[in-house]
Structure 1
């Protein structure tokens, strides 16, 4: 579904119109779905990027009035994978889009880095002490605590650090 969005362009000194196309992918996110439920176990990041690359030229053929507009790919969360992969495919295949850039907000890039940012966040906001931060980053990081908890084998040292973190953070921060 597409929308027109009015925005202020400081370089031209006035309002301008932008067109936005929302694409939910892969099937199963947002309001989209697949009637073939086996699809959900087969879909990969590569398939999603490829499907999007199949869709976009067809969309531009259906709506050629948009084909010369600047084209930006944006997304959030897991689109930290999809958006750059789609942009890479567009560049590699030399697909004739007027691709100008990619923007991802709050991207999920890779679990180790993303999950371990919790210690940095807590420490930088004064929620945990320097000594707890050092333990939380050097002895048993959040990714390790989470992985061990999911596997049902949280080590004693990680359990102690986790308890220390949540004692300092309190029940008021999730």
Structure 2
């Protein structure tokens, strides 16, 4: 059994959207990886039962640029700080 989150990033790509248009203003490698970090913090806050599961990050194409940034945030414990 596995639990998978598919996330379109940055905001406004694929099926992702922002309720506030300002969410689409600053879209670069660092800002989009921070958006993912904020999303994961909120998601794990709402679903803490998944924190104990193994966590893997993957991506394709250009995600090879931002996945290492996201992985760095996770490895530094940023998911548990609630930022």
Instruction: Extract structure 1 runs of 4+ deviating beyond 3 A.
Output: none
Q: CA deviation at 1:37?
A: 7.5
Q: CA deviation at 1:31?
A: 1.4
Question: What is the distance in 2 between the residues matched to 1:72 and 1:18?
Answer: 11
The structure richer in strand per residue is 1
- Gaps in structure 1 of 5+ consecutive residues: 1-16, 98-174
Count of aligned positions? 79
RCO greater where, 1 or 2, for CA within 8 Å and sep 6 or more? 2
Match status 1:45 vs 2:34:
no
Q: CA deviation at 1:96?
A: 5.1
The structure with the largest alpha-carbon Rg is 1
* TM-score (norm. length: structure 1): 0.41
- Gaps in structure 2 of 5+ consecutive residues: none
Partner of 2:21: 36
Question: What is the distance in 2 between the residues matched to 1:77 and 1:47?
Answer: 18
* TM-score (norm. length: structure 2): 0.79
Question: What is the distance in 2 between the residues matched to 1:38 and 1:72?
Answer: 26
